Structure 1
Amino acid sequence: MSSHHHDTATGENELERLLKLAVTEPAHRPAFFRELLDATVLILGDSEQVQHGGDITLNADTPVNIQHWEKQDGGSIIPFFSSVEALQKAVEDEQPFIAMPARVLFEITQGADLFLNPKAEYGKEFYPEEVAMLLATGGVAKPAERYIDKDTQILLGQPEEYPSAMVDALTTLFSQRKPVRRAFLALMHDQAVDEKPNLLVGLEVDGELAEIEALINEAGSVASETAPDDEPVDFCLVSEKERGVSHYLITHTQPFYQRRWGSWLRNIIPSTDKTQ
């Protein structure tokens, strides 16, 4: 469960800080979704349940009366909040509320529209499809996997128009994620499958398989929101020991992202005490 550290200078917690960044910068959205799924959020509840319930352990089977608000189009939405301060900005008088894990809230309200921090400067609406994807994958986009036979002929080159927005967003994401050592960009055309070439991002990584899979999911989500003309983007893992695509990317292109070793080494190399 999130500890919800507050920034004393701004009064916002980590979830609110990431929400503010995620509104305009796709690279921060994976971190926002991770923080949200681990966070405790507040919902407007039933006054009787709040007053007489005492300390309640909530799970997906716990009956909870949750307030719904009516939207301008007549539809219904469930408001939820990242902090007491955000809740107070949205209501005119005192309202009973319940704190519960965001993941539990999503589980017990599947099929409903929800809105984080309505009436605040920064907020986010969640549609049922998004909630289902969040619960299933931890993100709102899941890349499709495909396997390329070793005998398949693939054309590789460089894009005529450099996808700067996508590269910038991926660079920001990779700088937050330890597994990525280097990242490369190319244009790939598998004529047996695709009518036209796709952007290809090659990742040189280290780490556990689950961590790498989560990273690729996050990178796919960021790329899908920033690729030019909503074009599909392929990802692959590269290694200096491999031929084919790996050899091309490592030998014939420059990485657009490379991990800065010094930032990690400072945490590993012990300091020497010379005062003896």
Structure 2
Amino acid sequence: MNTHHHHNEHDAMSGSDELEQLLKLAASQPAYRPAFFRQLLDATVYILGDSEQVQLQGEITLDAETPVNIQHWEKQDGSSVVPFFSSLALLQQAVAEEEHPFIAMPTRVLFEITQGDHLFLNPKAEYSKEFFPDEVAMLLATGGVVKPVERDIEQETQLLLGQPTEYPAAMIDALTTLFSQRKLVRRAFLALIHDREVDEQPNLLIGLDVKGEQADIDALISEAGMVASETAPNDDPVDFCLVEENARGVSHYLVNHTQPFYQRRWGSWLRNAIPSTDVSSSV
């Protein structure tokens, strides 16, 4: 029997297993949707179909220019979808062991060559997901998250800050789950903010104490915005701001007058920082 030593936990789970796990979680929990989309866009997927070039040369690298015959399936309502699969096992299960040519290709390439089509990930599996053309276009453009609208609050503006009377528990749970997947967030705070100049109603505000590269922070805020908009009570708008320790205004209120709803566990940080010593004695 061959044994493999895994240096970190991630290797132990293959990419397709991890993708299927994220699809299952994302089905019921918006907090996992950004990670699912990220993983999907980096994955290799399997489609039913063939390409003359593949038959000629065996293994080839497909790009959006390669002519490929992709099999479509008809749904019960008569519409047509392109089935694609996160693993060969699920493909074989879906075609019930019949012989079928298939092609492995990066998800991005599949999305590019089928633009305008409906796609269906893992049909017939326990967890599957349909992708509509505009969703695919957005995934290709932004990785599946809508870019937040930024606005600067003028110094003179009278902002009213407080706490929401109705605690947005589902949203806070989902954001906590998202933040715990990402190392960037040190603490996260919740408030209700009312900028009378701009809005009739107060908005929920999430303050983030983050450390990291600007691009990673921007991506995180987009993901958090997507999760928040899917879980906020009554579809309320949600604002995000970055908290600075000694700043005035909003940051001061959040840091000094509210408790963080999320605090990164120091334990996990320390564990990574201490070099592990190998205690097994060599014979």
Tell me if both proteins adopt one fold, taking TM over 0.5 as the criterion: yes
1:113 aligns with 2:118: yes
- Structure-1 residue corresponding to 2:186: 181
Checking the alignment, whether the CA contact within 8 Å between 1:130 and 1:140 is kept in structure 2 is no
| Corresponding residue for residue 29 of structure 1 | 33
Report the CA distance shift for 1:68/1:243 in structure 2 as closer, same or farther (over 3 A).
same
When residues 225 and 15 of structure 1 are mapped into structure 2, their CA distance, relative to the original with a 3 A threshold, is same
| CA RMSD after TM alignment | 2.2
> Pick from 33, 38, 41: which aligns with 2:42?
38
Aligned residue pairs: how many? 270
Opposite residue 168 of structure 1, the aligned amino acid is D
Distance 1:271 1:109 in 2: 48
Stretch moving more, 56-65 or 265-274: 265-274
- In 2, the alpha carbon distance for the partners of 1:272 and 1:13 equals 31
- Give ranges in structure 1 of 5+ residues lacking alignment: none
For 1:169, the equivalent position in structure 2 comes to 174
Structure 1 residue 241, shift from structure 2 partner? 2.2
Correspondence for 1:203: 208
Q: In structure 2, what is the equivalent of residue 131 of structure 1?
A: 136
After superposing on structure 2, the runs of 4+ consecutive aligned residues of structure 1 that deviate more than 6 Å are 272-275
After superposition, the Cα gap between the structure-2 partners of 1:45 and 1:273, relative to the gap in structure 1 and judged at 3 Å, is closer
Structure 2 counterparts to residues 38-77 of structure 1, below 5 A:
38-46=42-50, 50-77=54-81
What is the TM-score of this pair, normalised by structure 1? 0.91
- Tell me the distance in 1 between the aligned counterparts of 2:11 and 2:93: 20
What secondary structure sits across from 2:239 in the alignment?
A: strand
How far residue 140 of structure 1 moved from its aligned partner, in angstroms, is: 3.9
1:12 Cα shift? 6.3
- Aligned ranges 1:124-273 → 2 under 5 Å: 124-270=129-275
Q: Is the 8 A contact 1:50 1:97 kept in 2?
A: no
| 2:86 equivalent among 82, 89, 106 | 82
Distance 1:7 1:191, change over 3 A: same
Identical amino acids, percent of aligned pairs: 75
Deviates more, 1:148-157 or 1:210-219: 148-157
CA distance in 2, matches of 1:187, 1:141: 22
Unaligned runs of 5+ in 2: 1-9
Residues 6 and 12, structure 1, Cα contact 8 Å, conserved in 2:
no
2-structure distance, mates of 1:273, 1:124:
44
